[in-house]
Amino acid sequence: MRSKKSFFKIGIIKQDMRQHGWISLIYFLLLLFTVPLELMQLASRENVLFEDYKNYFFINTELQVLILHSIPVAAGLILFRYLQNEASVDMVHSLPIRRETIYVSHILSGLLLLLVPIVLTSIVLFFVTNSIVEFHSILTFQKLLFWTGLMILITSMVFIFTAAVGMITGMSSAQAVLTYIFLFLPFGLVTLVSYNLSFFLFGYSSYYTEQKLTYLSPFMRFFELWTTPKPFSIIEVVIYTILTIGFFLIGMGLYKARHLEKATEVIAFPILKPVFKYGVTFCSMVFGGSYFSAAGSLHWNWILFGYCIGALLGYVIAEMILQKSWRIFHFRLFTGFICYSIIFIVLFVGIETDIINYEKKLPQMEQINGVYFGNKYEVQEQMSKNSDVYSNSKPYIQDVRNLHEYIISQQEFLENDLTNQMDSQEMMISYRLNNGKLFTREYKLPANLVTDQVKPVMEAEDYKLNLREYTQLREDITAIRVIPNGPAGSFVTITNREEITELTSILKKEILSQTFEELTSPISPWGYFELSTKSVKDRHQFEGYSISWKKSYDAISAWLDLHGYLDDARITSNEIANAEITKINNIEAQEYYSADELFRLGEQAISVKDQNMISSLLEKFTDQPENQTYFIKFTLKDGNEWYGAIPENVVPEEVKNKLK
């Protein structure tokens, strides 16, 4: 019993409860308002899709995140506030109580204040959920236990982490700021460094970074629960548990080593001051480079200017904070900054000259087991569903490698020309090697500069099987809605299971049979297929994905015509009363205007009323005005107007002659 009492003091805990019990009450009321009350509101609303709320984390996610990362931080600040005041810290440590006992007692007080409201809220949630029949099969008792356990874990970790941060500073305001900085620092720093590396390294891939990015911050990871059916894995729970225990032990060690006279100091440990100073300098530097890279359109002079200004400002501000004075300008200040600059210049030159041969590296054919080529966001979506996106077809692997080899050989030209290309697109090449490792590169390239090399890749079935529009058709589709492209008020909804099967089968074949020209064509589609995997109660509640109904999909048009859907599924020449064509010679101005604005810039417009000609113009119509010269306005019989552009090769000769 004596050993137990020496580990913590009941008197300290009771005093904390009397003095700070209001924290527990506020936390409880906020949790009640955020989850149980929201559940009752959902039950009273009409047209609610209860299956959307797969677990308790989907209920008021934003408020849960805000509360979870504010109240525990506030508790850590308040319970250890005495450390930041010279009078109170001297008084507390004059008592015949060991520092470990004081520290543990306050930690236990904080955990009681924070965890009791979670348990009480969980009990309330149990009865509220059982009173709502629609949630019985969705929000199960196991999910309630998981929510309770994870809330307890994250609350404990954030509180103990805040307390540990309080040991390295002598100011409550600095403790609050540093707590949030450290919570976001791994996420923000990795993001900024990854973004800046893309300037230096041709082909640098942030794919793996983006995949694991949210795991670097509990705040961001919790926000991800909004869209993640299985919120946290057992491994994550174990890691967070270990981190919580680690923060507890670190905080205790720092508490024992802390000097009492360091109250009111920004950094309580002298050894950490250089870490703080140069850490702020580095973060400010990469932020400055990132800002001026966007403002200066990736111009190297602006990027280097951003690095210099950012580093200097960060260094000066950090020095002012540490000295708590603006009178810091002396020779010693500049020696530290000069040393930092030399180290950075060496690092910069090493990366820029590619001493690790990152940019030219390319695996040999015999080393490659599989390959993926396409959009990195599509592969992320498929990988999240445990789909294998890598093709082991040797001809396809060879085509992708040939493309990659050509890109590397044209590095200098592509880097210099890239910022002037309006039609560039992101491409990711990822090889799965025989040893199980992945070799990934990303390039932002204009397709028209690599047409010969990219064409066999994009026309291969292995590429099209990973297109998002194709992978969506693998889902269990309950309804399809066909929406015309343009200002049409009609649409078609298909719910017959047999018709859905037929249509999706034809759509798959059309997607897989596309040529390179059809895949990259700027011609606008006839319309869009919206797919729903949920029950559709009425047409106004339709939810789902969208797939373009391209004008090259003749089999789709024939099927819709056969089933009597075609007239309502697209705009035809019969609905158009008139077409007007104009010409804009100043093509450079196009990026600043929309299609309707560009049409109005034309000095002269030629009217077309012939139905056959209008049908021909409709088939080549595009609502993407980039790199176009001729612009068109369709006037529908119902009075609506539809603006776009027409490729020069389909404009009638008599119209061209009049618009010269």
User: Does residue 154 lie in a domain region?
Assistant: yes
Lowest mean pLDDT among 89-98, 332-341, 543-552: 89-98
pLDDT bucket at 160, cuts 50 / 70 / 90:
very high
User: How many domains are there within the chain?
Assistant: 5
pLDDT digits 0-9 by tens, 378-415 = 777 776 676 788 989 999 999 999 999 998 888 877 77
pLDDT band at 39 (very low <50, low <70, confident <90, very high): confident
State yes or no: pLDDT of 248 exceeds 80. Answer: yes
Q: Which alpha helices (H) appear in 411-460, and where do they start and end?
A: 411-417, 451-458
Domain, as residue range, for 390: 368-465
- CA-to-CA distance for 487 and 108, rounded, in angstroms? 64
Whether 542 shows a pLDDT value over 80: the answer reads no
Which range, of 46-60, 235-249, 455-469, averages the lowest pLDDT? 46-60
Under the banding of pLDDT at 50, 70 and 90, the label for residue 155 is very high
What Rg, from alpha-carbon coordinates, does the chain have? 31
Q: Is the pLDDT of residue 221 over 80?
A: no
642 falls within a domain: yes
Consecutive H or E run containing 290: helix 273-295
pLDDT of residue 261: 65
Distance CA 165, CA 161 (A): 6
Confidence check: pLDDT of 419 > 80: no
Position 5 pLDDT exceeds 60: no
Domain boundary among 569, 600, 631: 569
Residue 50 has pLDDT above 50, yes or no: yes
Above 80 in pLDDT, residue 514? yes
Of 225, 259, 293, the residue that ends a domain is 259
Average pLDDT of the segment spanning 232-243: 86
More confident residue, 320 or 164: 164
Predicted TM-score of the model (pTM): 0.77
The 10s digit of each residue's pLDDT in 578-626 is: 888 888 876 554 455 677 778 877 778 888 888 888 888 888 888 877 7
Q: Are residues 79 and 198 in the same domain?
A: yes
In terms of domains, do 616 and 600 share one? yes
pLDDT surpassing 50 at residue 2: no
Shared domain check, 105 and 137: yes
What pLDDT, on the 0 to 100 scale, is given for residue 628?
79
Cα-based angle 198, 201, 206 (whole degrees, multiple of 5): 45
Residue pair 483/489 in contact (Cβ under 8 Å)? The answer is no
Residues 162 and 297 in one domain: no
Of 541, 569, 597, the domain-final residue: 569
Residues 14 and 112 in one domain: yes
Select, from the ranges 183-197, 430-444, 522-536, the one with the highest average predicted confidence (pLDDT).
430-444
Same domain, 455 and 481: no
Whether 547 is covered by a domain: the verdict is: yes
**Residue 362 resides in a domain:** no
pLDDT reading at 421 higher than 60: no
Structure tokens, 94: 């004059």
For range 568-577, the mean pLDDT: 86
Q: Specify if 360 maps to a domain.
A: no
Q: How far apart are CA 569 and CA 579, in angstroms?
A: 21
Cα gap 379→369, rounded to integer Å: 17
Task: Give residue-wise pLDDT tens across range 327-374.
Answer: 666 666 678 888 888 888 888 888 777 788 888 889 999 999 999 998
Q: Residue 29: is its pLDDT beyond 80?
A: yes
Mean pLDDT value of segment 65-83: 89
51 and 122 fall within a common domain: yes
For residue 396, the model assigns a pLDDT of: 93
Q: Are residues 248 and 312 in the same domain?
A: no
Q: Please report the pLDDT score of residue 247 as a whole number.
A: 93
| Pairwise CA distance, residues 487 & 571, whole Å | 9
Nearest to 281 by CA among 305, 308, 304, 315: 315
Specify the pLDDT at position 48: 65
Same domain, 622 and 502: no
CA atoms within 13 A on the CB side of 426: 13
Compute the distance between CA of residue 531 and CA of residue 542 in angstroms, rounded to an integer: 9
Distance separating alpha carbons of residues 510 and 552, to the nearest angstrom: 8
Mean pLDDT of 445-459: 82
Of 38-52, 251-265, 455-469, 571-585, the range with the highest mean pLDDT is 455-469
Whether residue 268 is contained in a domain is answered as no
Strand (E) or helix (H) holding 442: strand 438-446
Q: How far apart are CA 163 and CA 110, in angstroms?
A: 10
Phi-psi region of 285 (alpha: psi -120 to 50; beta: other; left: phi over 0): alpha
Residue 635 lies in a domain: yes
Return the closest-CA partner of residue 52 out of 110, 140, 138, 128: 138
Residues 476, 440 share a domain: no
Evaluate if residue 245 carries a pLDDT over 90: yes
CB 127 within 8 A of CB 40: no
**Which pair of structure tokens corresponds to residue 357?**
């041969």
pLDDT given for residue 292 in this prediction: 75
Does residue 435 sit in the same domain as residue 521? no
Whether residues 479 and 620 share a domain: the answer is: no
| Structural domain contains residue 224 | yes
Q: pLDDT confidence of 418, banded at 50, 70, 90?
A: very low
Residue range 135-152: mean pLDDT, rounded: 85
